[in-house]
Amino acid sequence: MAHIVFDLDGTLINSAPDIQGVANGLLQEAGLEPITLDQTRSFIGNGAAVFVERMRKARDVPDDRQAEMHKAFVAWYDAAVTRTVIYPGVERALDDLASAGFALGICTNKPIRPCRAVLDHFGLTGRFATIWGGDSLPVHKPDPAPLHAAYEALGGDAPRIYVGDSEVDAETAQRAGVPFLLYTEGYRKTPVALIPHHAAFSDFAELPALVAGVLLGAE
Ligand SMILES: O=C(O)COP(=O)(O)O
Ligand SMILES: [Mg+2]
């Protein structure tokens, strides 16, 4: 049976409204204008430090505020679960894959504490045998190390699949040498055709068949 690892933000959950809330709380404290939801979506994907950097640049906040703003951002981030939603069909797809015997994991650039907080909030934690956040290792995606670590934690010598929504995820999968399934409704900035992927999907109901397709191709 294969090991399937998922990205989190923009793949299983639409967390941008909560992340926007954290960002705008910080900006408000600093007396600055808020950022839009579109800006928020475009800043997600490379981890919290890069998010804060992009947010600062959008509001001309000098570089010497990075450490302090990053710290405050991460401190507020744990509680940012109230406006987040699970994408339609995710739970059903996870159930189907689990009952078909697949081992499931998470590899996200979201820091591990808010990652676990939001999975707990939705009662999803138990569905994943291993969970890797953006600060679980000294490096994060697109470095393939956390993705490799996730598969190793799932154990055994099984086919591997990564499911994500972004350019960063595609690069991570490519560097890890694993087939990539692209969820098209998340936070990508590039047309689907320009993101390397094995297959793309816009509805989680399609996922079990796509997984089966990857495995047939791998035989
Ligand atoms: O950039 C982040 O913080 C999280 O993004 P990811 O879950 O899509 O990796
Ligand atoms: Mg993502």
Q: Which atom of ligand 1 is nearest to the CA of 165?
A: 8
Q: Which CATH class is domain 3-14+83-218?
A: alpha beta
**What is residue 219's predicted lDDT score, i.e. its pLDDT?**
62
DSSP state string for 4-52 = EEE--BTTTEE-HHHHHHHHHHHHHHTT-PPPPHHHHHHHTTS-HHHHH
CATH 1.10.150.240 maps onto the chain at 16-77
**What is residue 6's predicted lDDT score, i.e. its pLDDT?**
98
pLDDT per position in the chain (219 positions), as tens?
899 999 999 999 999 999 999 999 999 999 999 999 999 999 999 999 999 999 999 999 999 999 999 999 999 998 889 999 999 999 999 999 999 999 999 999 999 999 999 999 999 999 999 999 999 999 999 999 999 999 999 997 899 999 999 999 999 999 999 999 999 999 999 999 999 999 999 999 999 999 999 998 876
Q: Collect residues with CB below 5 Å from ion ligand 2.
A: 7, 9-10, 165-166
CATH 3.40.50.1000 maps onto the chain at 3-14+83-218
Residues contacting residue 176 through CB under 8 Å, at least 6 positions apart:
144, 147, 148, 160, 162
The answer to whether the pTM exceeds 0.90 is yes
3-state percent helix, strand, coil for the chain, nearest multiple of 5: 50, 15, 35
d(C-alpha 162, C-alpha 149), whole Å? 13
Ligand 2 center–CA 128 separation, angstroms = 17
**What is residue 78's predicted lDDT score, i.e. its pLDDT?**
85
Q: Which atom of ligand 1 is nearest to the CA of 109?
A: 9
Clarify whether 96 is annotated catalytic.
Answer: no
d(C-alpha 133, C-alpha 73), whole Å? 16
Residues annotated within the binding site for Mg(2+) are 7, 9, 165
**What is residue 215's predicted lDDT score, i.e. its pLDDT?**
94
Out of 7, 18, 135, 169, the active site residue is 7
> What SS3 string covers 59-113?
CCCCHHHHHHHHHHHHHHHCCCCCCCEECCCHHHHHHHHHHCCCEEEEECCCCHH
For ligand 1, residues with CB inside 6 Å are 7-10, 44-48, 51, 108-110, 134, 166
CATH topology of domain 16-77: DNA polymerase; domain 1 (1.10.150)
Cβ proximity of 49 and 70 under 8 Å: yes
For residue 84 the two structure tokens come to 């987040």
